[in-house]
Structure 1
């Protein structure tokens, strides 16, 4: 006899509450952002849009985003005291809110990160879709569409004939299957940015090979975020 299922069988992320959309998803957006930056930031401006703009304090999204920027996982109890930990770590942050951005998803966050130690900076826009699921929809002005639930490769490369096929071939030789791939550019023959989601991990030697190519200017690799 088949077992009956119900809404109570749904499994969400292990997290610090109260809401998977407003806490777990927010932590994961921050986790993706610091991996794109390549380090923990020293300065950040956080902009909450729409629903987040109205509820981020009451639902703890402000603590969740700071916790994620400090490298905490969704179930880390330190999230509750994230502001105190940020002060200890020397993380300077500013919150902004935009309550009526009609072109954006209701639960959208923009992060402008800077690491003064390295000089690196990045701007990331992410959406919290519910159940801890996220989408990164923009990086440094380039349209994106990845979840960080799969292994993700981000490449800055010259816009040259055959580049997409070549990169796909390198990944295939690593016996790694591409799940999604999107490429955007500022203009013809200008710098292009590749966002590639993969089902399995890339070998370090493959990443190093890509970094050595003269027409690839930056390689960012994000193992899947739990």
Structure 2
């Protein structure tokens, strides 16, 4: 599903966020942060309409509070998200939510209508596309194509001669301001301008004063790094070929790419990954230090139960593997209680990589710096999966979330233990093949059952796949073909099995009873 959005390393290992869902919570916050700029984060009225899978699950995934939080300027890692609706009401903002059907839209689309203090109405059409990544498709009916990674100027002009408009802009704002979008719209033309770096407010003032400009908005990036318009490698094979050419590890190739793309030093990029790894470890610790109260409280305390089981030497699969299970449960219980986790590549799969990688590293006395470096290999695999299939449960099912996380963890572990290029790709293919067809069917729409247990399964699957690959077990099917199969299965999968509560575990009698008791649904 290669679209207009180019994923980067910290779209896949990140964001650091408040749970329970990267798509439906963190992504919704980011959509709100972008939309809220149209009314200076202080609307008088706010109406949010949910399409597709979100129409069924927005209240369960806290997408409603997330959008409101973002519109008011609250970021994805801020614990105030859960109280945003009350905060809005205290400020006198009239808030309402509803469902909508948008023709041909992404299954996780959101339409936002806001009224500012001058009485102007603003409409934003958007989608949250997986792992906290977003796409603003339209503002007030015209195309803008914003992903939140670069500052941009968007609006409407009466100057419908493209060359003349470009010449005027160059005179006003300089040669480096690119005209990215220029399209007819209601006897005018819509436009989008960007230059790959921060845009100063003076540029907005200059262009706003031109008579031919009828509407203009300065949209500031909500991802805190300027990015060049450079895409990652198209395939696993291409990533390996680049590494072979430079006689370096896959992780080194990914570090170099991210440094070049984000216009930072390699040390800065490594430092950001160090912070993500630290946050992963903290989410394990937090999940074990107390019994977290989950949003649905369908069940609780399973990480503690596993911990007690380990301490009683009851493990039937070995203490190390039992710790992997325990740590996956711990992270996902933190996520399910709206605690802080690292989406990797999503919040719904946030327990897989920390549980598999941290536990294996700890049990084998591996150095943190080696683990941090290897995480880039996992991120590279995650990007390729995201751009050639999907990491969104509402697009590709849980095979896209937990499957991608498992493949990432397998690649990380295989590199950590000295696996060569072919062994790393075999581990990716093996891990994906083992979970192909896994549907997204959370009970009552909450990231609890079966999401929490599936993270434990995915973490163990990653270790088994890495072990087989390191032993020389050939996956036979190349990793890129397996990713293609993942995409094909996702496209064939019934919509009811893609986070819509229409079938699978979410449609069992017990699940429906839980849904009714928890939310009063019928």
Answer yes or no: same fold by TM over 0.5: yes
Which one of the candidate residues 24, 27, 33 is aligned to 2:26? 24
In 2, are the aligned partners of 1:146 and 1:197 still within 8 Å (CA)?
no
Q: CA deviation at 1:65?
A: 0.9
Q: CA deviation at 1:204?
A: 3.4
Corresponding residue number in structure 1 for 2:68: 66
Provide runs of 4+ in structure 1 moved above 4 Å. none
Q: Distance in 2 between matches of 1:164 and 1:123?
A: 25
- The answer on 1:94 being equivalent to 2:93 is no
What is the number of residues matched between the two proteins? 211
In 1, are the aligned partners of 2:109 and 2:127 still within 8 Å (CA)?
yes
In 2, are the aligned partners of 1:151 and 1:224 still within 8 Å (CA)?
yes
Corresponding residue number in structure 1 for 2:219: 222
Q: Distance in 1 between matches of 2:164 and 2:114?
A: 29
Q: Distance in 2 between matches of 1:217 and 1:122?
A: 15
- Alpha carbons of structure 1 residues 146 and 167: separation in structure 2 relative to 1, 3 Å: farther
1:40-90 per-residue CA deviation (whole Å, 9 max, x = no partner) reads: 211111110001111111111011011112210111111111121111111
SS of the counterpart of 2:17? coil
Structure 1 residues 105-114 or 155-164, which shifts more? 155-164
1:74-113 per-residue CA deviation (whole Å, 9 max, x = no partner) reads: 1111111112111111111111113x64511011000011
**TM-score, normalised with respect to structure 2:** 0.38
Corresponding residue number in structure 2 for 1:110: 111
Q: CA deviation at 1:39?
A: 4.2
Which one of the candidate residues 25, 33, 36 is aligned to 2:35? 33
Q: CA deviation at 1:207?
A: 2.5
SS of the counterpart of 1:81? helix
SS of the counterpart of 2:118? coil
Q: Distance in 1 between matches of 2:60 and 2:201?
A: 43
By percentage of residues, which structure has more helix? 2
Q: Distance in 2 between matches of 1:206 and 1:69?
A: 24
Q: Distance in 2 between matches of 1:75 and 1:163?
A: 44
Corresponding residue number in structure 1 for 2:138: 138
Larger Rg: 2
Q: Distance in 1 between matches of 2:176 and 2:38?
A: 21
Query: For structure 1, which runs of at least 5 residues remain unmatched after alignment?
Result: 1-9
- Greater relative CO, 1 or 2 (CA 8 Å, sep 6+): 1
Query: For structure 2, which runs of at least 5 residues remain unmatched after alignment?
Result: 1-11, 224-522
By percentage of residues, which structure has more strand? 1
